[in-house]
């Protein structure tokens, strides 16, 4: 196990995860983009900033449809989720110039998924000297930039 970090947003997440009246991805897509940190919408999928990030610039990409298994994604959804992942990498590269990335799916609670019934792709920027992937998905990092500031930068670049 990694050392616990001071990460109040994770605590808030843990406290609120089971109290949410609905699915956060379904709520996000139905809500206001800026409020919900939605940076990009396409036809079958959308991308948003993770409100409880493991690293600065941590993005989530999900289909609009509330589906819980990877295999249930249609071809169009699977393609668009990955296209959004590519676009997210490009936007993050311009803003942060990370040295690497992890792209991944946490399928099932045991694999680290906080939300198990609406599949989503994690896009996590990485830098030399940060933790490796497993601690990243299992713990939290100190975030240096506010979500609001990053949201402005990302939407400006990504939406062009």
Residue closer to Zn ion by CB (options 23, 103) is 23
Site for Zn ion in 97-156 (CB under 5 A): 118
Question: Measured from the CB of residue 118, what is the shortest distance to Zn ion in angstroms?
Answer: 3
120 is catalytic: yes
> Do residues 61 and 47 lie in contact, with contact meaning Cβ atoms separated by under 8 Å?
yes
Question: Measured from the CB of residue 12, what is the shortest distance to Zn ion in angstroms?
Answer: 20
Give the dihedral sign, CA 7/13/14/16: positive
Closest-CA residue to 77 (of 109, 44, 102, 30): 44
Residue closer to Zn ion by CB (options 23, 89) is 23
Task: Give the x/- contact pattern for Zn ion in 55-94, rule: CB under 5 A.
Answer: -----------x----------------------------
Annotated catalytic residue, options 58, 118, 120, 122: 120
User: Which residues fall within 8 angstroms of residue 90, CB to CB, at 6 or more apart?
Assistant: none
Which residue is closest to Zn ion by CB?
23
**Collapsed DSSP state (helix, strand, coil) of residue 62:** strand
Site for Zn ion in 21-40 (CB under 5 A): 23, 25-26
What is the token pair recorded at 102?
Answer: 């992890």
Q: How many residues bind Zn ion, per CB under 5 A?
A: 5
Calculate the CA dihedral of residues 151, 153, 156, 157 and round it to 10 degrees.
-120
Residues forming contacts to Zn ion in the complex (CB under 5 A) are 23, 25-26, 66, 118
Catalytic residue numbers?
120
């Amino acid at each position: 196990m990694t050392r616990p970090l001071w990460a109040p947003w994770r605590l808030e997440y843990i406290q609120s995860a089971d109290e949410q009246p609905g699915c956060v991805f379904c709520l996000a897509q139905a809500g206001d983009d800026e409020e919900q940190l939605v940076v990009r919408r396409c036809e079958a999928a959308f991308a948003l900033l993770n409100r409880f990030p493991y690293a600065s610039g941590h993005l989530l990409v999900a289909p609009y449809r509330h589906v819980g298994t990877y295999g249930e994604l249609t071809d169009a959804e699977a393609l668009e989720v990955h296209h959004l992942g590519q676009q997210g990498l490009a936007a993050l590269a311009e803003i942060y110039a990370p040295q690497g990335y992890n792209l991944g799916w946490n399928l099932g609670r045991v694999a680290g998924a906080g939300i198990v019934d609406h599949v989503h792709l994690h896009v996590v920027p990485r830098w030399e000297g940060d933790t490796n992937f497993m601690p990243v998905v299992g713990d939290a990092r100190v975030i240096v930039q506010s979500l609001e500031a990053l949201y402005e930068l990302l939407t400006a670049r990504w939406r062009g």
